[in-house]
């Protein structure tokens, strides 16, 4: 499996909405977002995964 499959489209859209650039995604597609926004999106996904792992542990 390639690395593309790690984040679901639904999760990516949720994070883009949370970070405030979903309108850009709707207009221009994922290629239209800034590198910084893409980096923030990945960082947020990692945070969410860590939060989930902590919940699963307790």
Contact 25, 16 (CB under 8 A): yes
Domain range holding 30?
9-56
- 3-state SS, the chain, equals CCHHHCCCHHHHHHHHHHHCCHHHHHHHCHHHCCHHHHHHHHHHHHHHHHHHHHHHHC
Would residue 2 count as lying in a domain? no
Residues in the chain: 58
At 3, is the pLDDT very low, low, confident or very high (cuts 50, 70, 90)? Answer: low
Total number of domains in the chain: 1
Note the pLDDT of residue 6: 73
Would residue 17 count as lying in a domain? yes
Would residue 1 count as lying in a domain? no
Mean pLDDT of 28-45: 96
State what percent of residues in the chain have pLDDT above 90.
83
């Amino acid at each position: 499996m390639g690395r593309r499959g790690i984040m679901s489209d639904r999760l990516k859209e949720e994070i883009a909405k949370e970070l405030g650039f979903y309108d850009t995604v709707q207009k221009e597609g994922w290629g239209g977002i800034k590198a910084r926004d893409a980096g923030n999106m990945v960082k947020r996904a990692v945070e969410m995964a860590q939060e989930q792992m902590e919940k699963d542990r307790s």
